[in-house]
Amino acid sequence: MKILIADDNRVNRNLLLALLDGQGAQIEEARDGVEALAAIKKMKVPFVGLIDWEMPEMEGPEVCQEARKLVGAPPMFLLLVTVRASKQDIVKGLKSGANDYVIKPFHKEELLARVKTGMQLVELQQSLLDRVQELSDALARVKTLSGLLPICGYCKKIRNDRDYWQQVEDYIGKHSDVKFSHSICPDCFELYLKPQLEQMKREG
């Protein structure tokens, strides 16, 4: 987990560094929008970005907008930090790709709560992505059977690709992840096993 602080004002960056110290995340800094986007492009782990709106080179909303276009980027939670408080600005910021919006001067506890919420969300997203990847890997390992299989009409053995005959369960077991457990179907019980049991009773 990382936290990116993007602000062209060193005093503001130092303030945020002091507030976010001890949150269990590695903190990176960017001095303008271009540096912020470059840092985001290099991110390999989930992160929360505190992006100042008014920065040289590239403003906060543009950073958010470009960040959302990145393919293969890790889960991110982008928090715009600005003095702009009008509804139009808030809507514009959120439409640019920001997840949340904090107005300066911000309250310490409010900011920390929003950052923690962001950290929880990206951790959850990463957990879901990891689970999806695990399932995809598992599906990729599953072996499937396809095509025409010659099977004996009497003993039900299957002829394999080397022209040898083998039991159905042996063939399927070698070509899939299926594990067999032996049992007796009702028809075979009546036809084979039941007469044997009755004979054993008579003989006993």
pTM exceeds 0.75 for this model:
no
Q: Quote the pLDDT of residue 146.
A: 59
What is the token pair recorded at 9? 């004002």
CB neighbourhood size of 173 (10 A):
13
pLDDT category at 166 given cuts 50, 70, 90 is confident
Domain co-membership, 186 together with 120: no
Edge-to-edge strand list for the sheet holding 100-103? 26-30, 2-6, 47-52, 76-82, 100-103
Q: In angstroms, rounded to a whole number, what is the distance separating the alpha carbons of residues 76 and 135?
A: 23
| Count of domains for the chain | 2
Domain co-membership, 89 together with 30: yes
- Identify residue 27 by its one-letter amino acid code: I
Q: What is the dihedral of CA 26, 31, 33, 36, to 10 degrees?
A: -20
Q: Quote the pLDDT of residue 147.
A: 63
Give the end of a domain, one of 111, 139, 167: 139
pLDDT category at 203 given cuts 50, 70, 90 is confident
Domain co-membership, 46 together with 97: yes
Given a cut of 60, whether residue 142 has pLDDT beyond it is no
Contact 4, 50 (CB under 8 A): yes
Given a cut of 70, whether residue 178 has pLDDT beyond it is no
Segments forming the whole domain that contains residue 71 = 2-139
Q: Is residue 152 part of a domain?
A: no
- Identify residue 82 by its one-letter amino acid code: T
CB proximity list for 200: less than 8 A, separation 6 or greater: none
Q: Which helix (H) or strand (E) holds 202?
A: helix 194-203
Given a cut of 90, whether residue 12 has pLDDT beyond it is yes
Summarize pLDDT for 34-84 with one digit per residue, the tens: 999 999 999 999 999 999 999 988 999 999 999 999 999 999 999 999 999
